Amino acid sequence: MASAREGISKFGKFLSSMVMPNIGAFIAWGFLAALFIETGWFPNETFAKIVSPMLTYLIPILIAGQGGYLVGGKRGRVVGAIAIVGAIVGSEYTMLMGAMIVGPLAGWCIKKWDEWAKDHTPAGFEMLVDNFSVGIIGLLLAIFSNVAIGPLMSAILIVLTAGTQVLMDHMLIPLLAIFIEPAKVLFLNNAINHGIFTPIGTTQVAETGKSIMFMLEADPGPGLGVLLAYCFFSKDESAKQSAPGAVIIHFLGGIHEIYFPYVLMNPKVIIAPIVGNMCAIAWFMITGCGLVAPASPGSIIAFMAMAAPGTQLNTLIGVAIACGVSFLISTPIVHNADVSESLEEAQGAMKDLKSGSAAATNVTSSFGDKIVFACDAGMGSSAMGATRFHNRIKLDRPDIVVEHASVDDVPADASIVVVQENLAPRAMKSAPNAQFVVIKNFLQDPNLDALYNSLVAEAAKAGVGNVDVPIEEEDKGSKPEGPALIDRDGIKLGCKSVSREEAIKAAGEMLVAHGAVDDSYIDAMFRREKEQSVYMGMGIAIPHGTNDAKQSVKKSCIVMLQYPNGVQWGDEKAYLVFGIAGADGDHLTVLANLAKALEDESVVEKMRTTTDVDWLLSVLS
């Protein structure tokens, strides 16, 4: 059963990865329809002519191109875009579902061709073969999609639309919530929303100007009710403290995955969003509500923005009904939940996963390791979790790279993977050699605290003092002092503002001048900035090389450049730029010592404008 669910979830994620990058096109089309068609807010015959071509041609071509790209790369994108035109012309229905089939098929075909042609193309004929193969394969697939895919998808859409109409005629649409809410919590929401509801809803919008199908899965009300119950009535302090933050992320940010763990820790709660969504759907049907395009992400902002003209108030009332019903049902369940039982269940889940995961307190890391936060699609809760953890760890361990990804596409160089319990098996298949930290939610989890403490404790054991976590007492005898890591010649004050690239290069050249690195290290500093910004906050940037540049380092060294007027570093300004090099594993000590010196904001503020080199040396040494 679990493997079947994982397979469906993976398939849903693949469908989502074709649709999600093109949501902006849906939104543009939705606004055009809402504003300018005959029944819109500002009817305009000229602008209304854009609506139909955008839906009929642009959106299917974008989806097919993305599907081709996911399977066959850039050439797959072109073949997919060519091929879907055949299905579009061969059907009177919008070919969204057809695009989800034709695109990946086209990508697969060109990929297989390229694998064969690689060893059979004469030298000098590569460009000719590449261009003609795309054109010919695209032509053949366009004909195939016109003859087969278009009619097949038309028949399927007729059946699905008719079935939906039967449910609506008999007021049975609310019963879909019985399947929708549990499927969402099991991370099957992408399969449902983008594989079924979006194609049907788009067809309905083309005919009636709105569709209730876009409201079934995206309504933020049911999940909001659950989270509010945890905010006010949970006995689990961890859940109660993290729930308010989850409310904001869920309701305003539209990341519904944030509330799934709160249901999983007490499965009885699933009744609440089911009933809440049923009531909301019934209200939407009675009042004739509908959206003009998918509300993605499922934020209240997107949900209301996509509401059909004249339905905004009833749409908002429906969200409130879902929230209120869900809250009323969740409250006694959450309040009466046995906290100890929940903890035991969590421990049991951890034991089941133990064969492939490490305890958060026992993870090990080296300089430049990569931590990856993984969720279903890699674009929602994992991105939020990665950002929060990066901001938390960056001063204590600025050497560590923190990223986010889909559980099915964890980078091969990930050292530590942070993932929620239900998605851990999929992530383990994706990155079998990584260490795993399994959590309940990305906001506040004991295992995230343990991971942080473990990583910082490693810095402490390396002889660095910028930690507040208990570690075993070590020999307190005096240690012999090594050569100074920064000297008077390694500090430049009053530098004129330059570009970020010039500042990195200047820091690298100073390290070269000090004999700490060779010239190739500068290129590694640029690669490190490209992987993840070395801007640390507080007006400080710490350029340093990548992990594979160790051979370029001759000795440990720190240099500092002061820019009183700042260097534009993305959206921030860096006033202090520290170039870092560490030999024989000294990077960790060098970076953490620097973080300790900079932990006092008043000191940092003075460092931005001071002309006293001796004072700076006393601070940094």
Buried residues in 517-541 as b, exposed as e (16+ CB within 10 A): beeebbebbbebbeeebbbbebbbb
Maximum CA extent, the chain: 84
SS3 at position 393:
helix
Residue of 289, 544, 557, 587 with catalytic role: 544
Q: CA-CA distances (angstroms) from residue 156 to 86, 200, 215, 217, 371? A: 17, 10, 22, 21, 43
Would residue 375 show up in a list of annotated catalytic residues for this protein?
A: yes
Token pair in block for residue 76: 């797959």
CA distance 222 to 332: 16
DSSP at 420: E
CA distance 125 to 563: 54
CA distance 616 to 619: 5
> Angle 520-531/500-513 helices, nearest 10 degrees?
140
Would residue 335 show up in a list of annotated catalytic residues for this protein?
A: no
Q: Which residue, 398, 415, 449, is CA-closest to 588?
A: 398
Residue pointed to by tokens 């923190």: 402
CA distance 209 to 309: 9
Reported as half-sphere exposure (CB side, CA atoms, 13 A), residue 483 has a value of: 12
Close Cβ partners of 513 (under 8 Å, ≥ 6 residues apart) = none
CB neighbourhood size of 429 (10 A): 14
Q: Which residues make beta-bridge pairs with 560?
A: 491, 578
Give the distance from CA 38 to its chain's centroid: 39
CA distance 548 to 559: 21
Residue pointed to by tokens 């990865």: 17
Beta-sheet strand order (sheet of 491-492): 491-492, 557-569, 572-581, 540-541, 535-537
Strand ranges, E, within 254-346: none
CA distance 535 to 394: 9
Token pair in block for residue 36: 């300018």
For the chain, the residue count is: 621
Residue of 375, 390, 404, 514 with catalytic role: 375
Compute the Cα dihedral for 257, 261, 267, 270 and give only its sign. Answer: negative
Positions marked catalytic: 375, 544
